Amino acid sequence: MSLPGNISEDQDLPISQVILFDQLADRPGIQDLWNSDIDLVLLQHLDQAKKERNSCRDTFGALVWAGLVKHLAEQGHPTFTQEQLKDCFHILKKHGYTLGQSLPSSTAPLQTAVDPNIDPTLANPLSSSIPPPTISFPHHTTPISAPAAAPPQATSGQAVWTVDAEALLIDFLINAKGQGLMSENNLKNKVYGCASRHLHENGYNFSKSQVKSHWTRFKAQFKVVAKLFWDAYLKGYKKAQPFCKNPFPHYDEITDMIGHSTATGAFALSSENSPSNLQKAKSDASSEESSDDNSDDDDVNPKTPTKERHTSVSMSAPRKHVRISAGAQALKTMSSSVAALTEGLTPPLIDSPASKKRAFDVVCAKEGLSPYSLSKAHCVFRGSGEVACEYLSFNSADESERTA
């Protein structure tokens, strides 16, 4: 791989510029714009963000990196992406630079490669600069491209999971399952590494093994909670025991057929055992008993053979008493109340507007009535409907009723 710009192969370069040789190959000229000033601004900005959130970890969220991109642009530096800045920061840390360390004095020499074709104002160092680490390339060698960012290694001690970190992990694993990376209850091994990088990008430093261990703990806790609910449920519903570990076959198909019906039959009524039919059956039974008693008193003949008398008694045996359940009785009472309310709200048939109009039409058909008389008649018929019905009940063919 040939080096960009006017940089020779045996020249010492800042480590940040080395990584950009491969990362920014699709943007000619950008590699030459990186210098120690940008290293200094990057470290100072991230150190300030770390102090503001009072954290001991060198991991930052997307907002911090977006702010760094904006901060570099405001100071007149070239525009880089967040991923490019993250890679440069990882390389600086790998070569011993940490946030919060004392900065060297302004007299420290800078070992940076400056392209004479670039505006010198972009390469002016600040009053105090960090000498970037250098890498010497022997003659006829090619710089090795930086490896892809690997998941963070396991930290010493027990990992401390917050509610937000767990929520990020669960959301990521749900998306992984939607992409087909989960079989039954087990995730594919590469999912844990991707989840570790996802958490790292959002400011949480958990290794691949810690992510996998936490997911295993989630599954174990879920089984415990699920068993607690089953134990409490089975105390009152022993018939549910077979379905504790085995599914109900064809559940979805049967739900489509009868799932819309939630009736249990406790208060079901049919045409055979409705309250009215039950009451009628009781009255019929009592009337039959009384009629049988009367017939026995009237028709008893001493000459009647015992055999025939026995047959007559056996046919008049009382019917089986049907007991009305409390639910049916409650429904009957409610039905009676609704019927009474409907009857009270509905106007009687004699008070219908049609009968009043018909009575007034009969009056209007009579000759010799003045408008005043007609208005009086209209007022009379507008009142209670009984007056109109009474008037219509008169026989107009009868002279006495007609003159009454």
The residue ranges of every structural domain in the chain are 13-135, 163-234, 349-402
How far apart, in whole angstroms, are the C-alpha atoms of residue 85 and residue 56?
Answer: 20
Tens digits of residue pLDDT in 278-315: 566 556 655 555 555 555 444 445 555 555 554 444 45
Candidate from 288-302, 314-328, 345-359 with smallest mean pLDDT: 288-302
How far apart, in whole angstroms, are the C-alpha atoms of residue 311 and residue 243?
Answer: 57
Quote the tokens at residue 332.
């009957």
Most confident range, picked from 77-86, 106-115, 352-361? 77-86
State mean pLDDT over 2-29.
44
How far apart, in whole angstroms, are the C-alpha atoms of residue 108 and residue 353?
Answer: 111
The average confidence (pLDDT) of the chain is 67
For the full predicted model, state whether its pTM sits above 0.75. no
Candidate from 84-88, 93-97, 100-104, 188-192 with smallest mean pLDDT: 100-104
CA 361 to the chain's CA centroid? 67
The predicted pLDDT at position 169 comes to 92
Quote the tokens at residue 309.
């008398």
Q: Who's near 264: CB < 8 A, 6+ residues apart?
A: none
DSSP line for 292-331: HHHHHHHH--TTS-HHHHHHHHHHTPPPPPPPPPHHHHHH
What SS3 state is found at 30? Answer: coil
CATH topology of domain 163-234: Arc Repressor Mutant, subunit A (1.10.10)
Per DSSP, what are the bridge partners of residue 182? 187
Tens digits of residue pLDDT in 104-134: 433 343 344 444 454 444 444 444 444 444 4
Q: Are 219 and 170 in contact (CB under 8 A)?
A: no
pLDDT band, residue 152 (cuts 50/70/90): very low
Q: Is the pLDDT of residue 245 over 60?
A: yes
Tens digits of residue pLDDT in 195-204: 999 999 999 9
